[in-house]
Amino acid sequence: MRILVSACLLGLICRYSGDGKAFPPLAELLKRGDLHFVPVCPEQLGGLPTPRPPAERVGERVLTRDGGDVTEQYVRGAAQAEELARLMGCQCALLKARSPSCGSGVVYDGTFTGRKVPGDGVAAARLKGAGIPVFDEEHWAEFLDFIKEEG
Ligand code: SF4
């Protein structure tokens, strides 16, 4: 099974802050020969630098804390993530929770105060729209159930 994965969850330093966010339980799965992870960072693929100003979804737009509109880069990165998933034949995606790109089901509310609202990041929404199941690291058990059933 091929699985699209947020590159920051592997510890790659692609986050806005210039660091990674390694998710330790992934390490065991990386050793399995039947699972193939395809790393992606939609924000970098959309052309944004690292580090970069933090951004949050505000309705259909994505804005930085100082009001810069980075929607175009987020949309481009989401399209590239979908294309990568298609090229590599990914059957699902494991993405970083709450990110304006990768968040699934819950994202920050656009006030940069840590408040959360229901919703998807731009890339997660695009992948779901393409019929690719999306999980995040905070729903690890559901992800494990899926790869067990589908693998
Ligand atoms: Fe991680 Fe996704 Fe943000 Fe890239 S866009 S740093 S992969 S959460």
pLDDT in tens, the chain (151 residues): 999 999 999 999 999 999 999 999 999 999 999 999 999 999 999 999 999 999 999 999 999 999 999 999 999 999 999 999 999 999 999 999 999 999 999 999 999 999 999 999 999 999 999 999 999 999 999 999 999 999 7
| Residue 60 buriedness (CB in 10 A; 0-12 / 13-18 / 19+) | exposed
The per-residue pLDDT for 76 is 98
Number of domains in the chain: 1
Contact call for residues 58 and 114 (beta carbons, < 8 A): no
Q: Where are the alpha helices (DSSP H) in the chain?
A: 26-30, 42-45, 71-88, 122-129, 140-150
In degrees rounded to 5, what are phi and psi of residue 22?
-55, 135
| Minimal-distance CA residue to ligand 1 atom 6 | 15
Q: Is the C-beta atom of 71 inside 6 A of ligand 1?
A: no
- Tell me the sheet residues that pair with 136: 95
The per-residue pLDDT for 144 is 98
> Which of 47, 52, 41 has its CA nearest to residue 101?
41
- Name the residue range of residue 9's domain: 2-150
The per-residue pLDDT for 151 is 73
pLDDT tens-digit readout, 24-43: 999 999 999 999 999 999 99
Among 12, 101, 136, the mutation site with the greatest number of ligand 1 atoms within 8 A of its Cβ is: 101
